[in-house]
Structure 1
């Protein structure tokens, strides 16, 4: 072992500190990092509530109507709030700058080897194991500053260790179920993943383009879903809002930082029962995290929009229902979007807010505080009005 690589002993460190004191370099208390909360604004009412009579008609002709969808957001806050997520950094952090610089220059590994995950520490980008069941709690709070940067757009976010893009969408093992053979189930699971990728991760779609591939996977015989989304892409309305299924930013307003969207969730399979008899159901629940900057020369403030979608796809038996075999029907869908302006226009795009937007038009949401990374509850258990996000 070379002299450079030899560990610093306690005695050497104590002698070094004492010498620093005698040379007039003072020591002090710990440095405190403080993370801060975020505010939001009121959301629009639920755009997809349908009557039971129409729901029953849909069942009889093979079309299943959507369940409620909503949006919550925005996530960015005015920087005058403080929360209690604090970490006391003890020891060398309190030393004068001269001492800290000298120490890091001599032995940089003393700092880099002990940084927390996500800030250069060992294993900071190691993906988490796939989510097989619903989590029992929200991800732990980050203890270092949570400000994202263009180089580290997921800094301070639980999504830092989530999978990149399509790698976070894993299909369950295919098996014969209901009216479907094992191969038919495998094809349906593949189509469900293909839809989620095309609707939420395709760079063209995220950049505001038309989700052509995703639309092609939906059954054209199912009323109000594929046709409704196609109408909404031409002229978005409260009822036909493309952001209920597709993640899109206006190319004139915001753009993705880099090429990575973080993904976490799960997909499950079951044979339908009762009213869903003669159907095989694919349940999907995924959260997508988009780091974006404004489309403006020199803009470098990164905001994150977090979209969570719960979609159940139905595969009705063609011998019983009038459907297009091989295509997906949407049995139910709901979504929650953090940091998409609730007061923004209904135009088929997400509208992320940045600090300067909050400074120009301050306000706070009236709904309860929500953690957009908390996947321990279903969307049906979350507030439907626009509320406050605890982090982004």
Structure 2
């Protein structure tokens, strides 16, 4: 994974500058020192593939009118991959320089009128895989009033409005209404697992669990175990976004969301749904703190609504085939079932030092679920 960084412009400072060279040099030195001391930490990817899935055979499929053929896809639960992530110092210095002297950037990248920030114009819905990470956002420090300041997520949709379903159409012999049901059930799973305030505050994801097929071996049992007794191998964060309310709480009511859902004919006679979404959570420490930081969670889910006339499944319930998660700004190697965001003024927590590559948690063009080691991130 590569760390996308802003290119710094060079050139002579206009003679009208009111900052002397000596003051400017001292500013740069102080900025680099402070950033190294207080850069927020955060982790990178962890992926999980469901332990069971349907498998057909040539001719009459295995389980025809008797039950699905379930088989392990990739062993037991995949490990959660989480790491310290330090904001890249050169990038942070570049942002600070631009904030102080925007004349270093040619043209007028932030618009000619400071009061009308075109960078806050909502983005259209994502319809295809991005080809690159979002460009650098206008500099800003997150606050309670502006929790997404300095983040490209400022232009993303708010909450469930960001989960836009494609128009359902028939898939050969599969009628339109079954496609619509598969899409709606997937959306219900995503919304409850990642946007329900009670779930985000550590509550039980009842609606999300209700759309999953209880006849799929181990999946619900594993999820129930993870909620009851979190561990490295049974971690609810594989599928649900949760913060410990004793430690942190959301800064405001808005979670920013960006991603897309697609559908196709599945391998098991039903509707296959692919979902890829990133959720950005601004949070503060519990107890009255006003210092805001952000945790970024990306989820990729593959599910299917199998043909109930060919397989022994629960009609209308989803079969999970894969669920990968990639979390940014949460301490490494803590497996208590909660995300643990790091704050600039906070001493690092977690046991693992960063050893993996640097990533941009906003980069939706990259694959997730490939990285084992703790890594670093370029921005939050």
**Fold shared per TM-score above 0.5:** yes
Is the 8 Å Cα contact of residues 53 and 69 (structure 2) preserved in structure 1? no
TM-aligned CA distance change 1:143 to 1:203, over 3 Å: closer
Aligned partner of 1:154 in structure 2 is 148
Two-structure CA RMSD over aligned residues (Å): 3.4
Aligned partner of 1:100 in structure 2 is none
- Deviation of 1:29 after TM superposition, in Å, equals 6.5
Structure 2 length as normaliser, TM-score? 0.77
Cα deviation code 1:166-200 (max 9, x no counterpart): 11101111111255310111121111111100110
C-alpha distance in 1 between matches for 2:46 and 2:367: 19
For residues 92-171 of structure 1, the aligned pairs below 5 Å read 114-115=113-114, 120-144=115-139, 146-171=140-165
Is the 8 Å Cα contact of residues 41 and 342 (structure 2) preserved in structure 1? no
C-alpha distance in 2 between matches for 1:75 and 1:49: 27
Cα deviation code 1:129-169 (max 9, x no counterpart): 1000001110011342x421111110000000000001110
Aligned partner of 2:316 in structure 1 is 326
- Deviation of 1:377 after TM superposition, in Å, equals 1.6
C-alpha distance in 2 between matches for 1:284 and 1:254: 28
Aligned partner of 1:267 in structure 2 is 261
Is the 8 Å Cα contact of residues 39 and 78 (structure 1) preserved in structure 2? no
TM-aligned CA distance change 1:340 to 1:66, over 3 Å: farther
C-alpha distance in 1 between matches for 2:46 and 2:252: 33
- Deviation of 1:279 after TM superposition, in Å, equals 3.0
Is the 8 Å Cα contact of residues 62 and 323 (structure 1) preserved in structure 2? no
Is the 8 Å Cα contact of residues 137 and 375 (structure 1) preserved in structure 2? yes
Q: Which runs of 5+ in 2 are unaligned?
A: 1-15, 57-61, 105-109
C-alpha distance in 2 between matches for 1:112 and 1:174: 40
Aligned partner of 2:360 in structure 1 is 371
Aligned partner of 2:330 in structure 1 is 340
Aligned partner of 2:271 in structure 1 is 280
- Deviation of 1:244 after TM superposition, in Å, equals 0.7
TM-aligned CA distance change 1:66 to 1:239, over 3 Å: farther
Is the 8 Å Cα contact of residues 43 and 376 (structure 2) preserved in structure 1? no
TM-aligned CA distance change 1:281 to 1:81, over 3 Å: closer
C-alpha distance in 2 between matches for 1:184 and 1:49: 23
C-alpha distance in 2 between matches for 1:166 and 1:27: 47
Cα deviation code 1:220-251 (max 9, x no counterpart): 11122222111211111222211111111011
For residues 36-51 of structure 1, the aligned pairs below 5 Å read 38=39, 40=41
Q: Does 1:315 align with 2:305?
A: yes
* Secondary structure, counterpart of 2:347 in structure 1: helix
TM-aligned CA distance change 1:66 to 1:79, over 3 Å: same
- Deviation of 1:385 after TM superposition, in Å, equals 2.0
Q: Does 1:72 align with 2:118?
A: no
Aligned partner of 1:231 in structure 2 is 225
Is the 8 Å Cα contact of residues 195 and 217 (structure 1) preserved in structure 2? yes
TM-aligned CA distance change 1:342 to 1:48, over 3 Å: farther
C-alpha distance in 1 between matches for 2:251 and 2:279: 14
How many residues matched? 335
Structure 1 length as normaliser, TM-score? 0.75
Aligned partner of 2:290 in structure 1 is 300
Is the 8 Å Cα contact of residues 63 and 221 (structure 1) preserved in structure 2? no
Is the 8 Å Cα contact of residues 39 and 365 (structure 1) preserved in structure 2? no
TM-aligned CA distance change 1:170 to 1:296, over 3 Å: same
- Deviation of 1:366 after TM superposition, in Å, equals 0.7
Q: Does 1:291 align with 2:282?
A: yes
TM-aligned CA distance change 1:279 to 1:178, over 3 Å: farther
C-alpha distance in 1 between matches for 2:324 and 2:132: 21
* Secondary structure, counterpart of 2:120 in structure 1: coil
TM-aligned CA distance change 1:42 to 1:114, over 3 Å: closer
Q: Which runs of 5+ in 1 are unaligned?
A: 1-20, 92-110
Is the 8 Å Cα contact of residues 169 and 263 (structure 1) preserved in structure 2? yes
Aligned partner of 1:90 in structure 2 is 103
Q: Whose Rg is larger?
A: 1
C-alpha distance in 2 between matches for 1:391 and 1:192: 30
